[in-house]
A = this chain, B = another copy of it.
Amino acid sequence: MATLEPVDRNYAERVRQSFAGQGVMAFIGAELTALQPGYCEIQLRFRPELSQQDGFFHAGIISTIADSAAGYAGYTLMPADSRVLTVEYKMNLLSPARGEHLIARGQVIKNGRTLVIAKADVGIVRDGAETPCATLLQTLISLAPPPSR
């Protein structure tokens, strides 16, 4: 884990600004609750508007915060003027996501120059106890900034 040194000292501000720019995070009520070099945690309270047909969190909503948690874990390590895009991810659901809130913990696995591999482990909290409910494995790409006009 020796490579998780941020090249941008202001990574936290940059990530928080990007998070604030994701309309979907405010819409579903997700909060960025922890941030370190190579690590990002996002939490989300349950609401019926986020459910699938059995009343659990919908897999797509789980992946929404897991994708962002892993993506921002990667983005903490990218240069100041870079952009980050998700190339792909795979998510396994480990148990029904029935409970009060989700915690997605994103972590960088491999910090490459162009590609970053990250993962997110998601827990569901019910009656105060947390159970693993999903795990996501992701590829990110670091892009140069768009040309200014």
Chain A residues within 8 Å of B, Cβ to Cβ: 18-19, 21-24, 26-27, 47-54, 58-61, 63-68, 83, 85-96, 109-110, 114-115, 117, 132, 135, 137, 139, 141
Cβ A89 vs Cβ B86 within 8 A: no
Min C-beta distance of A112 to chain B, whole Å? 8
Cβ B60 vs Cβ A24 within 8 A: yes
**With A and B bound together, what is the CA distance between A70 and B127 in angstroms?**
32
**With A and B bound together, what is the CA distance between A110 and B24 in angstroms?**
27
Min C-beta distance of A125 to chain B, whole Å? 17
17 A/B residue pairs, CB under 8 Å, sorted by A = A22-B58, A23-B50, A60-B64, A60-B65, A61-B64, A63-B63, A86-B93, A87-B92, A87-B115, A87-B139, A88-B139, A90-B90, A90-B137, A92-B110, A92-B139, A114-B114, A117-B135
